[in-house]
């Protein structure tokens, strides 16, 4: 039961945005990381939602952030994975805690935003490593990713 229009052997999973998440992906296309912040209580919110879960005020405000943060956790993905990722393994999957306090998933990439086939050792990835935002183009999907801060 593969998805229509996607070749299982070669396709990466793709985001299917709806009205609550489309602004995030539009921001990525422009090279901007947008996170919602409540206009009333100022709470930062992730993942996207139509109502502030801190004070229940509707329509949190999409707000551009620098993407600076640190490694809150990380893993190295190894086989088996989806066929499309087979040639990219191993790679580092990061849980980055932004300075705003919310945590996002991302790839570990090089300073130019290029792919890193690595277990993270050469890059010195450890809990707490400071990270800088990059965007990685995965077959046309622009994904927030991180490189070790210089």
Subset of 62-81 contacting other proteins (CB under 8 A):
72-78, 80-81
Nearest approach in angstroms of CB 103 to other proteins is: 5
Q: Is the peptide bond before 90 cis (omega within 30 degrees of 0)?
A: yes
Closer residue to other proteins, CB minimum distance, 80 or 124: 80
Residue showing tokens 């299982």: 8
103 is a site residue for other proteins (CB under 8 A): yes
Measured between alpha carbons, how far is 119 from 117 in angstroms, rounded to an integer? 7
Closer residue to other proteins, CB minimum distance, 61 or 84: 84
140 CB contacts (<8 Å, ≥6 apart)?
none
82 is a site residue for other proteins (CB under 8 A): yes
Subset of 19-48 contacting other proteins (CB under 8 A):
21, 45-47
Closer residue to other proteins, CB minimum distance, 70 or 150: 70
Residue of 107, 104, 148 whose CA lies nearest to 126: 148
Residue of 96, 93, 124 whose CA lies nearest to 33: 96
Site size toward other proteins (CB under 8 A) is 44
Measured between alpha carbons, how far is 134 from 24 in angstroms, rounded to an integer? 15
Nearest approach in angstroms of CB 59 to other proteins is: 19
The phi and psi torsions of 146 (rounded to 5 degrees) equal: -135, 150
Q: Which residues bind other proteins (CB under 8 A)?
A: 1-3, 6, 8, 11-18, 21, 45-47, 53, 72-78, 80-82, 85, 88, 91, 93, 95, 102-107, 119, 127, 138, 141, 143
């Amino acid at each position: 039961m593969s998805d229509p229009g996607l070749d299982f052997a070669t396709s990466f999973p793709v985001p299917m945005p709806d009205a609550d998440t489309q602004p995030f992906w539009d921001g990525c296309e422009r090279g901007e990381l947008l996170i919602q912040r409540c206009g009333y209580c100022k709470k930062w919110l992730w993942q996207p939602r139509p109502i502030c879960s801190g004070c229940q005020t509707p329509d949190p405000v999409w707000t551009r952030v620098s993407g600076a943060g640190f490694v809150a956790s990380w893993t190295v993905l190894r086989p088996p994975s989806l066929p499309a990722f087979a040639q990219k393994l191993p790679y580092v999957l990061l849980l980055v805690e932004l300075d705003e306090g919310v945590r996002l998933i991302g790839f570990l990439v090089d300073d130019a935003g290029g792919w890193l086939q690595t277990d993270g050792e050469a890059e010195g990835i450890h809990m707490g490593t400071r990270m800088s935002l990059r965007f990685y183009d995965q077959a046309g999907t622009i994904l927030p990713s991180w490189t070790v801060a210089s």
